[in-house]
Chains A and B, each alone.
Chain A
Amino acid sequence: MFRARGGAALPTVGETDHTLPAVRLDNVAKTFASGAVAAVDYISFEVHDGELLVLLGPSGCGKTTTLRMIAGLEEPDDGHIWLGSRAVNDVRRNVFVPTEKRNIGMVFQSYAIWPHMSVFDNVAYPLKVRHVSRGIVRDKVERTLELVGLHGLESRSATQLSGGQQQRVALARAIVFEPKLLLLDEPLSNLDAKLRIHMRSELKHLQQHTGITSVFVTHDQAESMALADRIIVMNRGRIEQVGTPADIYERPRSRFVSEFVGSINVLPALVTGVSGSHVRLRQSGRDMVCLASGERTFADGQQVLISIRPEKLTFVRERNGGQNVWEGQVASMAYYGDHREYEVQVDDQRFKVTTPVGVAVERGEHVLLGCDPAEIVVMAEV
């Protein structure tokens, strides 16, 4: 057995090559001794240089385990992980670069601010372990504290800080030594709702300002939408979908993704005809038309699932001979100040509909529901 500190470099690619992903996982798997189910089940993905990638999923989906494996806090049971050109995990060759040699900044869910140290000492820690000279440490810590808005709190004991301030100290500590990669493990989940939204935008701003490659773990889909350049949706240790926030929201690939991200109507349907980009469907006695996105092809007679976002459904006045218009009865209405949410019964199917506040319809009224063919997403899975 041997232990490679640096790991083997990828052949033909130099350290400074910017086409190289900042992080690359290849067939990484992890099962915890306690559970028979794989926490992470042979996943592969890349993090591009300078982007903010969000790992999104429900608790237990493997997102935190994935992040911790990148950090070197968990060891994968199989697979490779590269940071730039450096192989930090190569399980079959028994290569494991210990956490402290990976040069990563990380913000923990609990902040992990050391209570026996001052704010200054907390932030200076990564520099001190790297034997940076005293003057430079002072300089860098002050600049970083200023960047996160904690200027003047250097000598404060870490235990005297509010949640939001601890959050900023944790962030300052993670970026003070200018690491190549920043990992954030649900960093906002312990803050109250208002502060969470505020810190979210500050974080986004800071990431764009510094250009640091970041991987952000969260179970909050709104947070992921607001922050991410790209989102990876995970479920049961596997990757469900990778894409921009718009991709994920508008073109979900699976029932899981569509239902996890926002509210949605998911219905089974049968393909009755395909002509060009138009797919004809039959759903519970109703005919529908939708525009396929092009990546996928469907065949006549295929069973599919379709999904429609509630805000894509509208109340229309008359049929106008148009496609995708169904008659139903309003079953419930809820007023939210900036929008209304309806439930409309169409035969045996109940649709969720979101409308602007101006659209007011009484419970029990008969309405016509309409939907643009481009807004109906067909998913292959049944």
Chain B
Amino acid sequence: MVATTADLARPRVAAGRRVRVDGGFIAASAVLALVAFLVLFPLGMLLFGSLWTSRPGFPGSFTLDNYVKAYTSAETYQVLLTTVLLIGAKTMLAVVFATTLAWIVTRTDTPFRNALEILATLPFFVPGLLETIAWIMLLSPNTGTINVWLRALFGLQGAPFNVYSLGGMIWVMSLGSTSFIFLLVVNALRNMDASLEESARASGAGAVRVALTVTLPLVAPIILSAGMLSFIRAMDAFETPVLLGLPAKVFVFSNRIFAAVQYDYPVNYGLATALGVSFFALMIALIIVQNKILKGKDFSIVTGKGFRPRVVRLGRFKYVTLAFCLVYFVIATALPLSQVFIGSFLKVFSLPRWDLFTFDNYLAILTDLTLWRGLINTFIVCGAAAAITVLLCTMVAYITTRTQYIGRRALDLISWLPWAIPGIVAGLGMLWAYITLPLPLYGTLVLLVIVLMTTGLPLGTRLMSGVMVQLGRELEESSRVHGGSWPYTFTHIIAPLLKPALAGAFLLLFVGFSRAVSATILFVGPGTELLAVTLFSYSQAGRFQIVSALAIVLMVINVTALVVARKLGAFGESARF
């Protein structure tokens, strides 16, 4: 470089430094390139597909027809309205349930509240698919157990309940969301600094006044953010809308896109991609609104020193709250789980009867080759995807939290982006993208690994950056100062210190991947079956008995894995989601 006169004059601050191409820069750029490829290529192809006249990989020309068709059709607006209605209603219901339950178990002298708390969190560990088929078995109009009983009891003609309806979807989805919101709110209430309430009591305010003027305002942001989070995540819901909505022709975004690709004849890729892009845009808008409203408030704002806060004495009313919790437990957990359990021992979908008792469903699992291939593939694909995702996300988290790499903000944003892409839309984009590549990827397990990795990037990155932030920066710097190169520091200091967190993140991702349906369903075929997708297809085909049997086996495995992950400390930062 030749120094000009201008250079020699005292420059403005921050003028001088340039990007230096060294090993770190190259490594970080490679990570950025990989993440950008995984995320932006499918997203770009989705956009391209929505502007293309024909199917993926086929000749065609650019057009706006898909959007014109989509937005001039009344059906699209109906879909939007139904989506908002479904998610809004189920979130409200869940927030009311969750907040009430959380308040009861943390702030009142209701008997057995510790046990009640565990009971209230149980549905969190029940996969959405299982919850759905349980309620189908309970509330399907003709053969649903509750309907049959009610008919017999009151001599009714029709079915009192029909699970194949908007109401049915709201009901089933709200139960799963309740335990999710409950988990967030209960922690906030528990960790809330007791002295905040106690000083209000000391100033002369009564219990009710304290609850309304101190407790509620303090936890309101948490309730709000938990509700918004639940709202946004529910946009992505797939299994319940497909299983309950499609038979009743109640369309929301996710099941309409799926139907357009899977059931419309001819396959309506144009509508699917146009809706997909709109759906993605809606998600981004919602997330922006969420950030605007919450403005950096998070779940930690009221956490204090962790003293057990004082509880409100309810007097006789405490039996009412106890009853409320028990009824909730029976309806939300005991009823569906026992239905699934009983269903797994029945020859046909029916009321429990001894003459229908059988072990055949469990035996069928043993002889069903599709299931076994699915199980083996699930272990291979999810294991590989989780391992690679953890490694990649550790790199991403390191670059975004620890370095001054010029593209770190872009990297952070791109790795977060799949968070805003609903599973079915991501699947559609990846289908378009990888089918056009001149590589024999389609129909292989490798492609499934790539698909899962892409969807796992946001969770993996958030988990690892949470851990990275907790890991003192000086621990690493002191290795560098005293002569350790970056690779040496990584293998001797960072990796050993992160080992439990890495294992925990692996397990969490593995469990998440093994449940994934919406992103992978367009990629499975003979030989590349995945267990979750097979279970979903069996459910669609009404084979609830075998699904019940296998789901029970799987749930036991899942809960074990989650408990191990919790022990390993992987939940440290998960409250950020």
Binding site for B on A (CB under 8 A): 1, 3, 29, 31, 38, 41-42, 71-73, 75-79, 91-94, 96, 98-100, 102-106, 108-112, 114-116, 125-126, 129-130, 170, 173-174, 177, 183
Contacts and interface: CB of A to CB of B under 8 A. Distances in A.
B474 A112 contact: yes
Contacts of B7: 92
B497 A92 contact: no
A127 to B, nearest CB: 9
B15 A77 contact: yes
Interface in B8-46: 10-11, 13-22
Contact of A29 (B13, B472, B488): B13
Contact of B20 (A41, A96, A112, A173): A96
B482 A173 contact: yes
A3 B483 contact: no
Given A1-B20, A125-B484, A129-B484, A106 B478 contact: yes
A45 B22 CA distance: 29
Given A77-B13, A129-B482, 6 more contacts: A1-B21, A29-B13, A106-B481, A114-B475, A125-B479, A129-B483
B480 interface: yes
Nearest to B472: A110
Q: Which 4 A-B pairs have the closest CB atoms?
A: A112-B474, A112-B478, A78-B16, A126-B482
B482 A3 contact: no
Nearest to B19: A1
A75 B493 CA distance: 23
A79 B14 CA distance: 11
B482 A177 contact: yes
Contacts of B73: none
26 contacts: A1-B19, A31-B14, A38-B13, A75-B404, A76-B17, A77-B16, A78-B11, A78-B13, A92-B1, A93-B1, A94-B20, A99-B480, A99-B481, A100-B480, A100-B483, A102-B481, A108-B474, A112-B474, A112-B475, A112-B477, A112-B478, A114-B475, A129-B482, A129-B488, A177-B482, A177-B483
B437 interface: no
Which of B17, B22, B404 gathers the greatest number of chain A CB atoms within 10 Å? B17
B482 A41 contact: no
A89 to B, nearest CB: 10
Interface size class of B (residues with CB under 8 A): 20 to 34
A111 B478 CA distance: 9
A271 B19 CA distance: 53
A100 B22 contact: no
A38 B13 CA distance: 7
A91 B20 contact: no
Q: Is the interface of B mostly helix, strand, loop or mixed?
A: loop
Contacts of B478: 106, 108, 112, 170, 173
Interface of B: 1, 3, 7, 10-11, 13-22, 404, 472, 474-475, 477-485, 488, 493, 496-497
A100 B18 CA distance: 21
Nearest to A95: B20
A104 B478 CA distance: 10
B15 A78 contact: yes
Contacts of A92: 1, 3, 7, 16
A96 B16 CA distance: 13
B481 A73 contact: yes
Nearest to B483: A129
Given A93-B1, A114-B475, A114-B493, A104 B17 contact: no
Given A73-B477, A92-B1, A114-B497, A106 B482 contact: yes
Contacts of B485: 98, 100, 129
Nearest to A92: B16
Contacts of A72: 480-481
Residue among A31, A99, A109 facing the most chain B CB atoms (10 A cut-off) = A99
A116 B495 CA distance: 11
A3 B20 CA distance: 7
A99 B21 CA distance: 16
B497 A125 contact: no
Nearest to A37: B13
A183 B22 CA distance: 26
Nearest to A121: B492
Nearest to A174: B482
Contact of B480 (A29, A42, A73, A76): A73
A119 to B, nearest CB: 15
- The residue among A109, A129, A174 with the most chain B CB atoms within 10 A of its own CB is A129
A178 B488 CA distance: 21
Contacts of A125: 479, 482, 484
Given A73-B481, A93-B1, A78 B17 contact: yes
A125 B476 CA distance: 13
Contacts of B483: 100, 103, 126, 129-130, 177
A365 B20 CA distance: 70
Contacts of B17: 75-78, 91
A48 to B, nearest CB: 22
Contacts of B22: 3
B407 to A, nearest CB: 14
Given A1-B21, A110-B474, A116-B497, A91 B481 contact: no
